[in-house]
């Protein structure tokens, strides 16, 4: 018998004699903190629930029976009482844009309820005017708004360039679309970026034109918008670092203990590094350098992941882009949109961001370098292109585990999902779309295709373990609402979108804990409440596994704990998500 079996045998015998024994690692010193007094949902199938846990050196050292865990208590152990509330693992962000936590403090929120206050074009203009006043933006200074959704405004359209010119004759205005993939610019902003009637529409992009002419309407999407997006005027370096410090509270109040910066520019990475090295980060941040910036970020060397966090920041892969957004009608499909293109195009299927040859080259560059590849893809034609690029770059071993992630993968077909399973490509789904854009997708794509959006249940049935995400600041950072939408799949108008794809609350919780951790290759340290893992934890006001499914959205994060330390606590009387 091998030696290791002798070592584990006593534990096995104990388990057989007394039922479930508490998980415990023998600590050198008493724990710093014990948490008890509520429900503990561990997301560990070997021990799904527990009554108490103990923490030392930022790690979980015991999980189990209250009496057993309390026996470890020393004179300096802090005992935290859950007061009947529920403890779950810290949330692991399947995809969002951490640096947006800076943007949202210096830009106007122009989203529609419940994500923002805008019900009409006038509301959008008012939000922009309020920002100009609040930040005392001088004539010539940029006024930037985000989150506007033309489909949800009373007029069923966004502000025109002329309306923005009238309200802001002296300021360039950029109003970023809710997808983050396009914007409406006023005349001053168009001029500042040298976009005129003479500017050709770039391949993979949209420049809206005035009827009957070549004059830009102000609407830009995809590759026409990317150069502006990459150079959005923003805060100074010092201001950025400071705002990152305060902005991370948005993530902490959502219970997120590992965040993603899901398309990192060189400057953002440099400034996040400054913030990290000053000790400002209270949660782990996985940065994914944007493909267009990897030559500068990796200084000409092959793109690589950083295996360890340094002061809570590490590079965890590279972000690529295959198409646009379905709600912006720039996602790339094999069949046309039922409603045409964003500037009235007929027989419009959307477009790939780059030609297939370029996508193949990108995949090869990232695979050869050994970094994890995260690719944004939404429409089924874009997903075909992703599979083709994977086949090209992976050579004769397409099934080798590379950790490749299809961010969104929203309109994946069943045959493509099977390919994802065979080739070990993990989808990071976006079930919030069922609520925020579900009705729009039914109009744009028809009920059958819309119902298979983010097919969480089918993916799991094929053995995939999809993550789930907010794509902040595309939608608010409400992690309980990601669980709610994965479980209920109800649209704004109250229809169920794809009943067969609903999952249970535990599966929905797994997607934003253990499956998110697995996506980053961090499942040995994070994602469940188990001995030896980091004490990244969230206290919830109620148990998402036991409340009626339709009320999961009303559960609030009460406290967020990173490596045993409380990093955010809800103030009395605060009932916002
Ligand atoms: Zn994104």
Q: How confident is the model at residue 232 (pLDDT cuts 50, 70, 90)?
A: confident
Answer yes or no: is 234 within a domain. Answer: no
Same domain for 388 and 508? yes
> For the chain, what is the mean pLDDT?
94
Q: Say what percent of the chain tops pLDDT 70.
A: 95
In contact, 413 and 380? CB cutoff 8 Å: yes
* Digit-coded pLDDT (tens) for 473-486: 889 999 999 999 99
Same domain for 331 and 219? no
SS3 435: helix
Determine which of 219-233, 305-319, 357-371, 424-438 has the lowest per-residue pLDDT on average: 219-233
The answer, yes or no, to whether residue 340 has pLDDT greater than 70, is: yes
* Digit-coded pLDDT (tens) for 51-74: 999 999 999 999 999 999 999 999
Residues in the chain: 577
Cα–ligand 1 centroid distance for 97 (angstroms) = 6
Cα–ligand 1 centroid distance for 263 (angstroms) = 7
Answer yes or no: is 82 within a domain. Answer: no
Cα–ligand 1 centroid distance for 568 (angstroms) = 25
Cα–ligand 1 centroid distance for 45 (angstroms) = 31
Cα–ligand 1 centroid distance for 146 (angstroms) = 14
Cα–ligand 1 centroid distance for 27 (angstroms) = 42
Answer yes or no: is 520 within a domain. Answer: yes
* Digit-coded pLDDT (tens) for 281-299: 999 999 999 999 999 999 9
Q: Residue 4 has what pLDDT?
A: 34
> From CA 430, how far away is CA 95, in angstroms rounded?
9
167 φ/ψ angles, rounded to the nearest 5 degrees: -80, -25
The answer, yes or no, to whether residue 10 has pLDDT greater than 80, is: no
The answer, yes or no, to whether residue 1 has pLDDT greater than 90, is: no
Q: Residue 100 has what pLDDT?
A: 92
Cα–ligand 1 centroid distance for 412 (angstroms) = 17
Answer yes or no: is 467 within a domain. Answer: yes
Q: Residue 9 has what pLDDT?
A: 35
Give one DSSP letter per residue of 8-34, joined into a string. Answer: HHHHHHHHHHHSSPPEE---SS--SEE
Instruction: Please give the tally of structural domains in the chain.
Output: 2
Same domain for 213 and 340? no
Answer yes or no: is 3 within a domain. Answer: no
Same domain for 216 and 338? no
Q: How confident is the model at residue 11 (pLDDT cuts 50, 70, 90)?
A: very low
Cα–ligand 1 centroid distance for 294 (angstroms) = 18
Answer yes or no: is 465 within a domain. Answer: yes
CA distance between the termini of the chain? 55
* Digit-coded pLDDT (tens) for 491-548: 999 999 999 999 999 999 999 999 999 999 999 999 999 999 999 999 999 999 999 9
* Digit-coded pLDDT (tens) for 252-282: 999 999 999 999 999 999 999 999 999 999 9
* Digit-coded pLDDT (tens) for 93-103: 999 999 999 99
Cα–ligand 1 centroid distance for 319 (angstroms) = 10
* Digit-coded pLDDT (tens) for 120-149: 999 999 999 999 999 999 999 999 999 999
> From CA 491, how far away is CA 112, in angstroms rounded?
15
Q: Under 8 Å CB-to-CB from 390, ≥6 apart: which residues?
A: 363, 398, 404, 423, 425
SS3 420: helix
Residue 128, CA distances (Å) to 203, 211, 229 in order: 31, 27, 18
Cα–ligand 1 centroid distance for 471 (angstroms) = 5
SS3 289: strand
Q: How confident is the model at residue 343 (pLDDT cuts 50, 70, 90)?
A: confident
Cα–ligand 1 centroid distance for 316 (angstroms) = 15
Q: What is the CATH number of the domain that holds 485?
A: 3.20.20.140
In contact, 54 and 69? CB cutoff 8 Å: yes
In contact, 323 and 411? CB cutoff 8 Å: no
Same domain for 351 and 494? yes
Answer yes or no: is 202 within a domain. Answer: yes
* Digit-coded pLDDT (tens) for 15-37: 333 334 556 665 568 999 999 99
Cα–ligand 1 centroid distance for 375 (angstroms) = 10
Q: Residue 12 has what pLDDT?
A: 38
319: exposed, middle or buried (Cβ count in 10 Å: 0-12, 13-18, 19+): buried
- Average pLDDT (328-345) is 94
Q: Minimal CA–CA distance to 38: which of 91, 88, 96, 87?
A: 87
- Average pLDDT (115-121) is 96
Cα–ligand 1 centroid distance for 173 (angstroms) = 22
Cα–ligand 1 centroid distance for 321 (angstroms) = 10
- Alpha-helical (H) ranges within 375-446 are 380-394, 414-422, 432-436, 438-445
122: exposed, middle or buried (Cβ count in 10 Å: 0-12, 13-18, 19+): middle
Q: Under 8 Å CB-to-CB from 281, ≥6 apart: which residues?
A: 248, 272, 275, 311, 312, 313
Cα–ligand 1 centroid distance for 428 (angstroms) = 11
Q: Minimal CA–CA distance to 152: which of 439, 349, 486?
A: 439
Answer yes or no: is 363 within a domain. Answer: yes
Q: How confident is the model at residue 7 (pLDDT cuts 50, 70, 90)?
A: very low
> From CA 98, how far away is CA 32, in angstroms rounded?
30
Same domain for 353 and 459? yes
Q: What is the CATH number of the domain that holds 145?
A: 3.10.310.70
The answer, yes or no, to whether residue 13 has pLDDT greater than 80, is: no
Cα–ligand 1 centroid distance for 12 (angstroms) = 46
Largest Cα separation within the chain, whole Å, is 84
Q: Which domain holds residue 207?
A: 112-177+182-224
3-state secondary structure 161-187: HHHHHHHCCCCCEEEEECCCCEEEECH
- Average pLDDT (190-208) is 95
SS3 381: helix
> From CA 209, how far away is CA 216, in angstroms rounded?
4
Cα–ligand 1 centroid distance for 262 (angstroms) = 6
Q: Residue 29 has what pLDDT?
A: 83
Q: How many helices (H) and strands (E) does the chain have?
A: 20, 24
């Amino acid at each position: 018998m091998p030696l290791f079996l002798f070592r584990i045998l006593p534990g096995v015998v104990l388990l057989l004699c007394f039922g479930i024994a508490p998980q415990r690692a023998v600590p050198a010193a008493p724990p710093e903190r014990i948490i008890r007094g509520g429900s503990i949902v561990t997301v560990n199938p070997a021990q799904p629930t527990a009554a108490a846990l103990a923490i030392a050196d930022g790690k979980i050292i015991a999980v189990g029976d209250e009496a057993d865990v309390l026996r470890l208590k020393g004179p300096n152990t802090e005992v935290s009482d859950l007061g009947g509330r529920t403890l779950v693992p810290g949330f692991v962000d399947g995809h969002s844009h951490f640096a947006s936590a800076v943007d949202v403090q210096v830009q106007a929120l122009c989203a529609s309820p419940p994500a923002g206050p805008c019900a009409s074009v006038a509301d959008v203009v008012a939000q922009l005017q309020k920002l100009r006043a609040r930040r005392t933006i001088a004539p010539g200074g940029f006024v930037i708004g985000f989150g506007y959704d033309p489909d949800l405004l009373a007029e069923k359209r966004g502000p025109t360039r002329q309306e923005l010119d009238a309200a802001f004759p002296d300021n360039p205005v950029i109003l970023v679309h809710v997808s983050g993939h396009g914007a409406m610019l006023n005349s001053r902003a168009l001029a500042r970026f040298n976009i005129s009637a003479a500017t050709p529409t770039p391949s993979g992009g949209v420049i809206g034109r005035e009827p009957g002419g070549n004059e830009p309407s102000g609407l830009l999407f995809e590759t026409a918008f990317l150069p502006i997006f990459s150079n959005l005027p923003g805060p100074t370096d010092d201001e950025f670092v400071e705002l990152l410090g305060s902005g991370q509270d948005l993530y902490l109040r959502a219970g997120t203990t590992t965040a993603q910066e899901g398309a990192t520019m060189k400057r953002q990475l440099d400034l996040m590094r400054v913030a990290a090295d000053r000790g400002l980060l209270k949660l782990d941040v996985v940065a994914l350098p944007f493909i267009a910036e990897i030559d500068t970020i990796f200084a000409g060397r092959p793109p690589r992941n950083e295996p360890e966090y340094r002061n809570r920041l590490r590079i965890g892969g590279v972000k690529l882009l295959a198409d646009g957004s379905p709600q912006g009608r720039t996602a790339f499909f094999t069949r046309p949109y039922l409603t045409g293109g964003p500037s009235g195009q007929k027989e419009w299927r959307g477009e790939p961001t780059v030609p297939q040859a370029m996508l193949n080259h990108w995949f090869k560059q990232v695979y050869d370098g050994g970094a994890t590849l995260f690719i944004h893809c939404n429409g089924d034609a874009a997903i075909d292109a992703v599979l083709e690029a994977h086949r090209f770059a992976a050579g004769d071993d397409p099934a080798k585990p590379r950790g490749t992630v299809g961010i969104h993968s929203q309109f994946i077909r069943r045959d493509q999902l099977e390919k994802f399973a065979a080739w070990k490509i993990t989808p990071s789904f976006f079930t919030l779309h069922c609520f925020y854009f579900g009705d729009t997708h039914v109009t744009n794509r028809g009920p059958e295709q819309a119902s298979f959006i983010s097919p969480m249940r089918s993916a799991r049935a094929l053995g995939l373990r999809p993550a789930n995400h907010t794509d902040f600041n595309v939608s608010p950072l409400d992690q309980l609402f990601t669980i709610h939408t994965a479980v209920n799949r109800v649209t704004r108008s109250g229809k169920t979108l794809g009943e067969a794809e609903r999952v249970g609350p535990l599966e929905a919780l797994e997607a934003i804990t253990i499956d998110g951790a697995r996506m980053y290759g961090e499942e040995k340290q994070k994602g469940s409440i188990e001995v030896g893992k980091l004490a990244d934890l969230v206290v919830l006001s109620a148990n998402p596994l036991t409340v009626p499914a339709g009320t999961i959205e009303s559960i609030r994060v009460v406290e967020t704990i990173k490596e045993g330390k409380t990093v955010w606590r809800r103030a009395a009387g605060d009932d916002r998500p």
